[in-house]
Structure formats: C-alpha cells, structure tokens
Amino acid sequence: MPFSLPDLPFSLDALQPYMSAKTLELHHGKHHRGYVTKLNELTRGTPFADMPLENVIRKTHDDPSSAAIFNNAAQHLNHSFFWTCMKPGGQAAPERLRKALARSFGDFDGFKRKFVAEGLGQFGSGWIWLVADKGALEIVKTSNAGTPVALDKQPLLVCDVWEHAYYVDYENRRADFLTAFVDHLADWEAVAGRLPAA
C-alpha cells in the first residue's frame, strides 16, 4: 500500500489565533504532502514499499545509500505525530502526567520552561520531543528529519521547529511559537495517554 497523507484531526482554522489556517494549509497540504509523495516515488518497487513506516525508518537511518528514503519517511512520521500532539483550546494536564513530569523536571511549569529552552537551542531545522526511554522521561532534540523512533525511544510529544511550522504566524520569533505551543496548543490528555505503564 502506498504511504498516505493523514487528515488533520481538526479543521484548518481550529488552532487560531496560535496557528493560522494559512500555516496549516502550507505545512500539512504542501510540506507534509510533499514528503509523502516523494517517499512513494523513492520506495515504489522496493521492499520498503510494503513495510510499516517505523520499520522503513529503522532500516534506513544508518544507511547513507538510503538517506533520501529515511529523510522522507521520518518527516512523514514526525509530521503525522505532530498533528496528534495538538488540540484546539488546550486543556489542563491530567494529574498522572503532572506527577510523571514532576519526577523528571521538578514540576509541570519546569518541564514547559525546559521544553521551550531546548526548542530554542535547536540550531537550524529540527524537532523538540518529550520521550520515554527505559521508564524515564526526557527532552531530546533532533536535527532535520531525525526522530527518536530510530533510536527506539517512545515519543510522547513533539513540536516542529522547522521555520515552515511557524514563520507565517511568528516570523523569526521561535520562542513565541514554542510558548504558544506549550500554553495553548499541546494536547496534554493525549500525552498522558501515551505514558508507559508505571
């Protein structure tokens, strides 16, 4: 089966004023669609065409000869996950999530400050993640198409810090975008639902 572009889990205007319909139209409809189209072109007629996306990523991430397949597969996976990390209107973080974050980051606000700071510290294009790894929660940065899935870490939350994710709405103010993401866009209920069993 060819890889396919997932529908957004909300309408194009649902995340305003923190993320505009224009940004989503460009980001989902152009950038993400482009990665899916290119991935299908690159994998057509190869064993990768019938693999689950995560398997394609794991098999290509350390293979320079498959760099183009990895880049497009990982960007497809990263973006598909990113859309599920946001929810219109935001909501309070469930207590289970607050407790888990407090164990690793002091408290929920401490986690948010560190997440924003790490996102600002990502030089150039990339992603900022909350992941679970061997029972511990950590914040990791990945460059370009990098993904913790390739390293067998479990993604819980991600924010895209490629400029196409925020430039229409925030220009070069990445800090404002990251703050809006953690304060108004992140779907904390979804993050809590991804926590590993204690």
Burial class (CB in 10 A: 0-12, 13-18, 19+), 101: buried
For the stretch 57-66, pLDDT in tens is 999 999 999 9
Mean pLDDT, to the nearest integer, of 94-105? Answer: 95
Q: From residue 43, give the alpha-carbon distance in Å to each of 39, 68, 84, 158, 193.
A: 6, 10, 25, 26, 33
- What distance in Å separates the CA atoms of residue 157 and residue 187, rounded to the nearest whole number? 9
Q: What percent of the chain has pLDDT over 90?
A: 94
Which is it for the CA torsion 5, 174, 158, 179, positive or negative? Answer: negative
Q: Which pLDDT score is estimated for 11? A: 97
Single pTM value for the model = 0.96
Given the structure tokens 């990768």, which residue do they identify? 48
